[in-house]
Every structure is written in structure tokens, then in C-alpha cells.
Amino acid sequence: MFTRTRRLRGSKTLRDMVRNVNLHLDELIYPLFLEEGENIKAEIDSMPGQYRFSLDRIDEELQELKDLGIKALLLFGIPKEKDPVGSQAYAEDGIVQQGIRHIKKNFPNFLIITDVCMCEYTSHGHCGILNGCDVNNDETLKYLAQIALSHAKAGADIVAPSDMMDGRIEAMRTILDENGFTYLPIMAYSVKYASNYYGPFRDAADSAPSFGDRKTYQMDFRSSKEYFREVESDIEEGADFIMVKPALAYLDVIHALKDLSLPLVAYNVSGEYSMVKAAAKNGWINEKGIVMENMYALKRAGVNLIITYHAKEIAQWVKNGEITL
């Protein structure tokens, strides 16, 4: 006698009743790009529906996100001026620091996560201080710690280092604790691969390296072992969240980390977003169906939180009654 597994799929009510994977808006984090300047709302060509905003144009977007029920933001900054040491990344009046203060003053209920890195701020586009043609790991730690501290002083709720320098979690935890930010969490980009899925983001943030690549500090996707060492070291150094980036091509990694004692985050990155948008524009896929299938794949693999450029439209679909979570 064969097994009739279809018995539990006979109606939507029954399928909803027996499902064991759930998604909530509270679990979605929406990235925002803040650009130094005035009267800027510029759509990013390679990321349809995503924009760079100057602070004088951001309130309308923030109000819409608030009304839709989005509660957590990840901030990236695009400065007017760049230099070899990325000084605008840790400047008191840097664009992210200004953005944090603006949002906290006008929309205090948002949870603000800040990207801690240097690639958007350095004239060479690499994620740290150069020593010849390579990034000097230990010298870079001093700058990353200052960036994290400047974000904390501006009012960030969580700092999220994305640089992939060895020892950066310890450096940030130390300087935060020394300055009274003992309870400020660190969301570590612990498992970040040197990925081809980042292309559109580099357009969005003007962060493409001017020479070479980032393979000496971001991870090799051909290795199935080194992510354990990255995660272990970040936990030992004081991380409070563990992130995997990109998301969809690394579901095996996410699943392997699902039983961590810390919250697990996946970053559904720009290339993953833009491929869906491009295929939908050409009528090749059901965009809404694909987006939700991807989100549930991440939850099924074991993530707790998802950073995704789709968060706003998911919230809109929920509000319009087009989907239920």
C-alpha cells in the first residue's frame, strides 16, 4: 500500500494548518542608501525600485515603511568625498551618522542597524587601509573600531561589520565596552563570500574596488569548511548575531549553522534581487511567487532574520491582502 501524502494538501486551510515554516514582517530588515547632498531621490539602474536618498528626501520613504510595518533598517552611506583612509566613515558628521540622528529624532521606533565597512568611503574602494596592493588587516581594525564607535555615539541600535578582517569583532567589542556601549549588539557578517552576486550593490554604493578584487579577505565559495572557523572566532570575540551573505546560493551553509545559540541572519543580496526583477520585467516569472518562495526557502533552511530589498514590497503585498504570512 503506497503512502497518500496528498491527503494533507487538499485545501488552502489544511495546508496552512499543517505548515511548520512561518515568516513574519518582524523578521525582515530593509536596506536604505543614504547619499550626502540635497534633493536626491535617485533610482539605482541595476536595482529597480531601490533608491539613493539625501536626508531632506528620506522622510516620505520612512513614513511609508513605518505605515507598512517595517521595523528594522540597515543603513549604508555614500559620501561626497572619499580618501585613502575612508575618513568620512567615522566622521561625526558623516552621512550615516547624520542619518542615524535624523531617523532617531523623527522616526524613533525604527531599529537602526549600520553597516560598518570602508569600501564606500575609500578612494580605492577596498574595505580597509592599503599596504601596497593588499589590505593591512591589523591597521584596518583601528579604523573599523572607530567607525563602530561613531555609529554607537550617533544612536545606532546594532552595528554590523561587513569588512571580513580577522579580529574585527574583538576590536569593536573592546572599544564599545570601553566607551559605555556594553549592551550594543554586533551583527557580524561572519560568513561573507567573495561573490558575483554583489554587482548591483557596487553600483548602488559606488563601492567597486578600483583595482583587483576582495578575494584575499572575503571567503572562497569553493571551500565548504572555512565558514565554521569564521563563525567560531566571531562568537568567541563577542558577536551577538551571525550572518551569511549571499543567501540563496548558500542555503547549505545556513542549514549547517541553524542550531547556533545566536540569531542567524541571511542577506538576500542585490544580485539575487536584481535577477528576480529582470526576469519579472521580461514576463518570464511570477515575481510575487518567486520572492515568497525564496523567503520561505531561507526560513526553511534555518534563518531567524532576513535582510532583503524585497521587504517593502512584501509588506505592501500583505497590506493589500495579496499574500498572507
Catalytic residues: 192, 245
CA pair distance 246, 194, nearest whole angstrom: 9
Give whole-number Cα distances, 139 to 127, 128, 151, in Å.
Answer: 12, 8, 20
Q: Note whether 100 and 154 are within 8 A (CB).
A: yes
Closest CA to 45 of 195, 194, 202: 202
Q: Note whether 155 and 104 are within 8 A (CB).
A: yes
Locate all alpha helices (DSSP H) within the chain, ordered by sequence.
12-18, 59-68, 95-106, 137-154, 168-178, 199-205, 226-237, 251-256, 270-281, 287-301, 311-319
CA pair distance 308, 35, nearest whole angstrom: 20
Residue 310 is which amino acid?
H
Give whole-number Cα distances, 28 to 214, 222, 323, in Å.
Answer: 28, 29, 16
